[in-house]
Amino acid sequence: MRDASSVWEPSGLIWLENNLGCPWPDALEREVRREWSEKEDWALNCHPWTALLLLIREYLTVPASRTEPRLRRLLPILAGRGDPGQVVAALSLLGIVVIDGEGRTAETDALFHHLRREITEPGVLNDVLRRFFCARAAVVSGNVEEACRLFGELLDVKPGDPVTESVLGRVYEKAAVFLRCRPARALESRWRMAAERWCEKHPLSIPARRLKRWLEAAGDVPAELVPEDPFDREEEIMIGLAGAKQEPNRERLRYLAKVYGDPYWIRRVEELAFSSSEGAKAKIGASGVAEYRFTFFESFQGYGPDGNTLFPERYSRKTVKQVLALLLLQPRYRMVKDKLWDVLFGEASGETGENYLHVILYRVRRLFLKQTGIADGWVHIRDGMVVFNENRVGGVDVQEYRQLASVGHQLWVDDREAAVSLYRRAAEMYRPVVAPEFEYEDWMAAWREELFLHQKRILRRLWDYARETAGLEQAVQYGEALLALDEWDLSTVHQLCKDWKSMGDHTRVTRICERYFRRITEDSEEIPPWMREFLGA
Distance CA 443, CA 441 (A): 6
Q: For residue 423, what pLDDT is reported? A: 92
**In 10 A of CB 531, how many CB atoms?**
19
**Residues with Cβ < 8 Å from 65, sequence gap 6 or more?**
58, 59
Nearest to 170 by CA among 198, 189, 149, 138: 198
Structure-model confidence comparison of residues 530 and 344, the more confident one: 530
Q: Quote the mean pLDDT of the chain.
A: 79
pLDDT on residue 4: 42
Determine the average pLDDT of the residues in 235-253.
50
Determine the average pLDDT of the residues in 145-161. Answer: 86
Q: What is the pLDDT of residue 345?
A: 76
* pLDDT higher than 50, residue 3: no
pLDDT of residue 240: 53
Q: In 3-state terms, what secondary structure has residue 293?
A: strand
**DSSP, residue by residue, 365-386:** HHHHHHHHS--SSSEEEETTEE
Interval 22-47 mean pLDDT: 82
Residue 392, Cβ neighbours under 10 Å: how many?
19
Could you tell me the CA-to-CA distances from 68 to 58, 91, 93, 234, 483 in Å, in that order? Answer: 10, 11, 9, 19, 17
Higher pLDDT pick, 502 / 222? 502
* For range 51-72, the mean pLDDT: 80
- CB of 150 within 8 A of CB of 116? no
Per-residue pLDDT at 312 = 82
Report, as an integer, the average pLDDT of 141-159.
83
154 neighbors 135 (Cβ within 8 angstroms):
yes
Residue 306 reports pLDDT greater than 80: no
Q: How large is the average pLDDT for residues 304-333? A: 85
pLDDT at 296: 93
Worst-scoring range by mean pLDDT, 155-164, 238-247, 308-317?
Answer: 238-247
Q: Which segment of 127-131, 179-183, 253-257, 509-513 scores lowest on mean pLDDT?
A: 253-257
- In the chain, the percentage of residues whose pLDDT exceeds 90 is 15
- pTM of this prediction? 0.49
- At 460, is the pLDDT very low, low, confident or very high (cuts 50, 70, 90)? very high
- Looking at per-residue pLDDT, the higher value among 228 and 423 belongs to 423
Give the integer Cα–Cα distance in Å for 307 and 293. Answer: 10
DSSP 64: S
Query: What is the C-alpha separation between 136 and 155, in angstroms, rounded?
Result: 14
Q: Which residues contact 388 (CB under 8 A, 6 or more apart)?
A: 324, 327, 328, 333, 334, 378, 379
Can you say whether residue 504 is alpha, beta or left, with left for phi > 0 and alpha for psi between -120 and 50 degrees?
Answer: left
pLDDT given for residue 308 in this prediction: 79
Q: Which position has the higher pLDDT, 373 or 421? A: 421
Mean pLDDT, rounded, for 471-498 = 87
pLDDT of residue 88: 92
Query: How far is the C-alpha of 365 from the C-alpha of 310, rounded, in Å?
Result: 12
**Per-residue pLDDT at 11 exceeds 50:** yes
Asked if the model's pLDDT at residue 259 lies above 80, the reply is: no
> Which pLDDT score, from 0 to 100, does residue 278 have?
33
For residue 297, list its beta bridge partners. 434
Check pLDDT > 80 for residue 239: no
Which tops the pLDDT comparison, 179 or 501? Answer: 501
Which range is least confidently modeled, 42-56, 100-114, 150-164, 219-233?
219-233
- The confidence score (pLDDT) of residue 294 equals 92
Q: Is 393 helix (H, G, I), strand (E, B) or coil?
A: strand
Three-state DSSP at 533 gives helix
Neighbours of 284 (CB within 10 A): 14
The answer, yes or no, to whether residue 2 has pLDDT greater than 60, is no
So what's the pLDDT on residue 257?
53
For the segment 72-125, what is each residue's pLDDT rounded down to a tens digit? 888 888 888 768 889 999 999 999 888 876 667 778 888 888 888 888 888 899
